Amino acid sequence: MPAITLTTLQSLKQKGEKIVMLTCYDATFAAAANAAGIEMLLIGDSLGMVLQGHDSTLPVSVGDIAYHTASVKRGNQDALIVADLPFMANASLEQTLLNSAELMRAGAHMVKVEGAGWLAEPIRQLADRGIPTCVHLGLTPQTVNVLGGYKVQGRSEAQARQLRADAIALEQAGAAMLLLECVPSDLAAEISQSVSIPVIGIGAGSGTDGQVLVLHDMLGLSLTGRTPKFVKNFMAGQPSIVEALRAYTQAVKAVTFPAPEHEFSA
């Protein structure tokens, strides 16, 4: 496939074709994902749990993300690479700018940052400096201690109203993409339609512009044995990992994943 750019993603949204995103942490899986037609690779702070064995994403450092971003870049040909700003890497505007620059130098095409509408000014500053951003809304794992656990967000009218307002404010500030995690499917679809930038979902239903899963989850690998509701094991019945990745890509494109059993209601 041709190299994926922000223009590509915007075109896919306008055409109504779903965007396929997957976490990735090394060169070998990056090459496999390319072969399967996956359009975006996310070096997520999820590596703290699935690679490092922590019980949360909080111990992950910018150095960890930069190392794995550089590894993914070496195996990647066509996908757009997104790198996470980990816990407290955006504690100040200066840290946000410096840490984002480090991830871009490591090979990212975009940085992802968790938060809400308060990120508008940092997003504006990054955009002015040529760094595209994806803002992660809804269930934000870096703030799990404030949220009181891994809970669906946006079920109350007040929460839903705030999520809608944040999405619009962040687009206006210059965000290139949004990611909604564990948000009721109707609300996620409404937000996706209310902004012109692509919206990627995880546990947010099929009405978003694309989907992302954690690589290890969609291959049926788990340290805990617990599978989130929004996950499907695409390795089941497939002869190889590349074929499992292709099955995931095809299911997202055909809008057969996520199915109703993977979604949350208000």
**Radius of gyration, CA atoms only, the chain:** 17
Buried-state track 68-102, b at ≥16 Cβ within 10 A, e below 16: bbbbbbebbebbbbbbbbbbebbeeeeebbebbeb
Phi-psi region of 134 (alpha: psi -120 to 50; beta: other; left: phi over 0): beta
Distance CA 204, CA 201 (A): 5
Tell me if 69 sits within 8 A of 32, measured CB to CB: no
Does 112 appear as a known binding residue? yes
Whether residue 114 is annotated as binding a ligand: the answer is yes
CA 51/CA 176 separation, integer angstroms: 28
Is 263 considered catalytic here? Answer: no
Question: Is 46 within any annotated ligand binding site?
Answer: yes
Answer for the pair 196, 178: CB distance below 8 angstroms, yes or no. Answer: no
Choosing from 17, 181, 243, 263, the catalytic residue is 181
- The 3-state secondary structure of 142-177 reads HHHHHHCCCCCCCCCHHHHHHHHHHHHHHHHHCCCE
Sequence ranges of the binding site: 45-46, 84, 112, 114
Sequence ranges of the binding site for 3-methyl-2-oxobutanoate: 45-46, 84, 112
Q: What amino acid positions are annotated as catalytic residues?
A: 181
